[in-house]
Amino acid sequence: MPAPLPEPEPLRALVEALRALPGVGVRTARRMAYHLLQHDPQAALQLGAALQQAVEGLQHCRQCHSFSQEPVCPVCQDPERDASLLCVVENPADQQVIESSHGYNGLYYVLMGRLAPLEGVGPEQVRFAELRTRATDGAVREVILATSFTAEGETTAYYLADMLRAQGLKVSRLARGVPSGSELEYVDAGTLAWALMERRGT
């Protein structure tokens, strides 16, 4: 069986770079690379330029730690925001999801990760101490833990709740339950169990 043709170095480097994306393996990365080079080289150039601009033009907000073009992001600077509420999320994508709901008008703190001891991610890596400083600035009255409902997200919320309650802060957790418009027969057992435990009167 003949050996596969060696890839040119620039192509190999592109495939390796695309593999850095979450959920992208070698085959998917190679398919993306060939598509861009063969069918849309202009889009490839735009992608490269946009990535460079983002890396060079963005920084972490001093207050919430999300991405920002300025030292303090527009959300943290907004005087209409309720400074007594601080919502803790794992990453900027989670922050955007909450913002798009239009149901929250407080401020945020973005951990840029979550506890994952098996992967070597501890309290130092997700900046627990910085969050404690931010939450005890005198303005915050309630911290809403909006970490994901994975094992790592739950562990993160558990440790954060202990740390923040020890500072005399009110701590709440994002509620879980049956999604609006869904039929019970299609809801997974874990979600249904939490919905039953967190039921409320009507």
Map tokens 């190679």 to a residue: 30
Q: For residue 39, how many other CB atoms are within 10 A of its CB?
A: 9
- C-alpha 199: how far from its chain's center? 28
pLDDT in tens, the chain (202 residues): 666 667 889 999 999 999 999 999 999 999 999 999 999 999 999 999 999 999 999 999 999 999 999 999 999 999 999 999 999 999 999 999 999 888 899 999 999 999 888 788 888 888 899 999 999 999 999 999 999 888 898 899 999 999 999 999 999 998 877 777 777 677 778 777 777 777 766 5
How far is 135 from 87, CA to CA, in rounded Å? 10
Domains in the chain, start-ordered, CATH in brackets?
Answer: 9-57 (1.10.8.420), 63-173 (3.40.1360.10)
For residue 144, report the phi and psi dihedrals to the nearest 5 degrees: -100, 120
Give me the pLDDT at residue 23, please.
93
Identify the residue whose tokens are 């309650």.
165
Alpha carbons 25 and 21: distance in angstroms, whole number? 9
Element (H, E) at 61: none
In terms of Cβ atoms closer than 10 Å to its own Cβ (0-12, 13-18, 19+), residue 33 is buried
82-89/142-145 β-pairing: parallel
> Would you tell me how many other CB atoms lie within 10 Å of the CB of residue 94?
20
Long-range contacts formed by 127-131: CB under 8 A, 24+ apart: 127/65, 128/159, 128/160, 128/163, 130/65, 131/88, 131/160, 131/164
Identify which of 125, 147, 138 has the alpha carbon closest to the alpha carbon of residue 167: 138
